[in-house]
Amino acid sequence: MFKEYIHYEDLTNSQKLEIDKFEKDTSYKYENILCSLCLGQNHKILFNNERHGIKQKTVMCDDCGLLFANPRLDYQSSQSFYNSDTYRKIYWNNKLKSENDFYNEVCKEIESYEFSPPKKVNFAKWHKNLYLDFICEEVKDFKTVFDIGCGKGIKLLDFKNLGKEVEGIEPSEILNKCHKKYQINSTKGFIVDLKGKYDLVIITHVLEHLHNIDESIKRIQEATNKYLFVEVPGHVENIQSIQNAHNYYFSFNTLNYFIQNNKFKLIKMDYARDSEFIFALYKKTEENNSFSYDRGLEKKLIRKIKLKYQFKYFVLKILRFFKIEKLTKKIYNKIR
Ligand SMILES: [Zn+2]
């Protein structure tokens, strides 16, 4: 029972239908993988499902404590899933009915963009400028910025306002159409298409989606002149949101392992206390570094946050049984 990941959002009937359709679709192929960090074969199942209820297993490597999806959609299948209506209908909950809706929504957001200069960094609460506050507090000597998976292009606008030369890459065709309309300097593509070198490379909420993380970071290292900034969902004190679009779930240690062992040195890392998103800034090095961590302690951390989760799960189940979940949440939010 505790291997169920509780759904925090109410699924609509159309979401449920799409999930059913997705799970019965035999054109999606799954692959069993070894641990990407230590090649370990012994994995413990943490959850049998993800936050939409999709039967996607999340495991912990019993040797190093890395959390990842396994078995997972193979590369081809995950690409066709991302490009499908099914993905949009499950994740967007029909709020945006068509690709055109999405295009208009993003255009509106770009049009209403206002630059706000970096302030003193404060990790108490996540906000959309936190990344900028953090980077600008740590480093200043960079001229060119490259955003991998630049999304709506907002970060490129931020750095342009700071007088930097900016460029981005983004796989989504619709987002690229938006960039074109507002002259945001980006191309359609992804990490394999990286060309050129940039003083600062940023990659936010992308690493957790990758298929081959080590190979991707090697490619990123080649495109970096000086600094790499990473933002990912993390587990510091709590389990992060489990979803089938994520292949990896990082802690401070596992993120550092992948990056620092690919010729980067940590400058600083921290996390937003509410969302537990991890922010990390690295400096490129010429020589190989060797980063390791206490694997026993890492597994202990996972067990601790899983236990905390189980307690929350138990309370939620009781509230749901008595149908007082919404009422309790209302009261809780008011008190907070
Ligand atoms: Zn491992």
CA of 283 to the centre of ligand 1 (A): 25
| CATH code reported for the domain at 119-287 | 3.40.50.150
**What's the rounded mean pLDDT across residues 294-305?**
96
**Which pLDDT score, from 0 to 100, does residue 326 have?**
81
Give yes or no for residue 91 having a pLDDT over 90: no
Query: Which pLDDT tens digit goes with each residue over 217-238?
Result: 999 999 999 999 999 999 999 9
Question: Ligand 1: distance of its center to the CA of 64 in Å?
Answer: 4
pLDDT at position 95 is: 66
Q: Is the pLDDT of residue 315 over 90?
A: no
Q: Evaluate whether 118 touches 132 at the Cβ level (below 8 Å).
A: yes
- The crossing angle, in degrees rounded to 10, of helices 213-222 and 252-260 is 50
Q: How far is the CA of 68 from the centre of ligand 1 (A)?
A: 10
| Highest-confidence segment of 15-24, 171-180, 258-267 | 258-267
Residue range 279-291: mean pLDDT, rounded: 95
Residue 24 has pLDDT above 70, yes or no: yes
- Give the residue-averaged pLDDT of 253-272: 98
pLDDT at site 312: 86
| Cβ atoms of residues 272 and 130 within 8 Å | yes
Sorting pLDDT into bands at 50, 70 and 90, what band is 97? low
pLDDT score, position 96:
62
Q: Which residues contact 113 (CB under 8 A, 6 or more apart)?
A: 154, 157
Q: How far apart are CA 255 and CA 248, in angstroms?
A: 10
- Residue 93: what pLDDT? 66
Rounded to the nearest angstrom, the gap between the alpha carbon of residue 119 and the centroid of all alpha carbons in its chain is: 24
Q: What does pLDDT average to over the chain?
A: 93
How far from 11 is each of 49, 241, 246, CA to CA, in Å? 14, 16, 19
Structure tokens at 72: 């997972």
Provide the pLDDT for residue 8.
65
How much is the pLDDT for 328?
81
Distance (angstroms) between ligand 1 centre and the Cα of 203 equals: 24
The two three-digit tokens of residue 81, written as one number: 């899933």
334, pLDDT greater than 90: no
CA 113 to ligand 1 center in whole angstroms? 42
Arithmetic mean of pLDDT, 181-209: 95
Rounded to the nearest angstrom, the distance between the alpha carbon of 249 and the centre of ligand 1 is 12
Please state, in angstroms and rounded to a whole number, the distance separating the CA atoms of residues 112 and 116: 13
Q: Which two tokens stand for residue 284?
A: 């490129």
pLDDT reported for residue 263:
97
Q: Regarding predicted confidence, which is higher, 159 or 84? A: 159
Domain ranges of the chain: 13-94+296-335, 119-287
Q: How far apart are alpha carbons 149 and 172 in whole angstroms?
A: 9
pTM for this entry:
0.93
Q: Is the pLDDT of residue 249 over 80?
A: yes
Q: Kindly give the distance from the C-alpha atom of residue 274 to the centroid of ligand 1, in angstroms, as a whole number.
A: 28
Report the distance separating Cα 93 and Cα 85, nearest Å. Answer: 11
**How remote is the CA of residue 38 from the centroid of ligand 1, in Å?**
4
In angstroms, how far is the first alpha carbon of the chain from the final one?
A: 30
